[in-house]
Every structure is written in C-alpha cells, then in structure tokens.
Amino acid sequence: MKDERVKQVLIAAVVLTAMTCGMVATLLGWRQVPGVLGEWLGTVVGIMSTPFFLEASFVVLGVLLVMVVNAVRRHREGDEFVSSDDLQAREQTRTTAAKPPAAKD
C-alpha cells in the first residue's frame, strides 16, 4: 500500500512539473515563434497572466486533472457498485467471525 502512494505522488509530481515547464517555456519563448502561432501564443500568454483568468484556468485544469485521474483509477480498479445484499452478508460473516470464544468456567 505504501508503494502505491509513493507511485501516485511521483506521477502527480511529474504531471505538475511538466505543466510548470510548459507554462514557463510558453511565457519565456513566445516571442521567438514566428507567424500566426507566435501571435496565438502571445494571446495565450496575455490571458494566462491576467489575474482572474490565471486562477480560473488553474481551477479548470485542477478539476480536469482530478476527473482524468479518477477515470483512470475506475478503469483500472473496476466499477465500485456493490449490491446491498453483498454488504449485509459480509457484515454478518464479519460479526460472527469477530466474536471471541466463550470463556470456560
């Protein structure tokens, strides 16, 4: 279980590092890109550096990232649906198995 948490943290760190490098590269290098792509990147940099849009874009990216991670996890682990009968049967076996043996007098 501990290895799974370390793996999740490493994946999150790689994703955040890649996003940070991409944003920094765009902010620093958009002037060197010629043509329409350079103009488009300049517009994106202007929007990225506007305070309201910056926070809003981070919120959208965060929600999108959580949705993607959750979809991948659900695909890997399967559906979370468990019927009520299964839960009741599991609870009964747990309570009967958890009873300590009776003490002898």
Q: What is the DSSP string of 1-45?
A: -HHHHHHHHHHHHHHHHHHHHHHHHHHHHGGGS-HHHHHHHHHHH
Contact 30, 38 (CB under 8 A): yes
Average pLDDT, the chain: 80
Taking residues 10-29, report their average pLDDT: 86
Residue 55 to residue 81: CA distance in whole angstroms:
35
Percent of the chain with pLDDT over 90: 4
pLDDT tens-digit map of 22-55: 888 888 888 888 899 889 888 888 887 888 888 8
Q: Write down the domain spans for the chain.
A: 1-49, 55-97
Q: Please state the rounded mean pLDDT for residues 76-92.
A: 69
